[in-house]
Amino acid sequence: MPHARLRLALIALSLLPALAFGQDSPLGRWRSIDDATGKPKAVIEIADAGNGTLSARIVKLLDLKDGPNPVCKACKGQRHGQPMVGMVIAWGLKPEDGSWGGGRILDPENGKEYAVKMTPAAGGRTLEVRGFIGFALLGRTQVWQRE
């Protein structure tokens, strides 16, 4: 009986690193926050894209100032006029030393694409999303909140 308890304790301890890693992963649902108002704007889901990268899509709009089913008026190409809900707004993200980068992010407000770096913070409760052109220093950071 004592050996069974010891084995169970060792199994439980071996799972702790996996649980801790999960908290520092961007996978899951996040609330994007409006820079101007500080209010939640949308729910974004980050998922495995199946090719060793992550992607993010809008699953729900929380700010309905443009109506219940807004489309991307500022987007170019095939995204122009497409519904915002369901739209993939970030793609090609790969792990890079505790963050995810190397991908692109779309700002549906202006239709522009930027390089992106996502870094989990606050024990996985927030995600620092930095969009930039060229160098990460030349960009803007939003802090998303885990839903």
The CATH number assigned to the domain holding 88 equals 2.40.128.520
Cβ-contact 88, 55 below 8 angstroms: yes
Residue 12 lies in a domain: no
Q: Which domain holds residue 126?
A: 25-146
The per-residue pLDDT for 14 is 38
Residue 111 lies in a domain: yes
Residue 96 lies in a domain: yes
Residue 54 lies in a domain: yes
Domain count of the chain? Answer: 1
pLDDT one-digit tens code per residue, 21-69: 345 899 999 999 988 899 999 999 999 999 999 999 999 999 888 888 8
Cα radius of gyration (the chain): 18
The per-residue pLDDT for 66 is 80
Residue 8 lies in a domain: no
Residue 110 lies in a domain: yes
Residue 126 lies in a domain: yes
Confidence check: pLDDT of 101 > 90:
yes
Q: Is 21 exposed, middle or buried (0-12, 13-18, 19+ CB in 10 A)?
A: exposed
Q: What is the mean pLDDT of the segment spanning 79-105?
A: 96
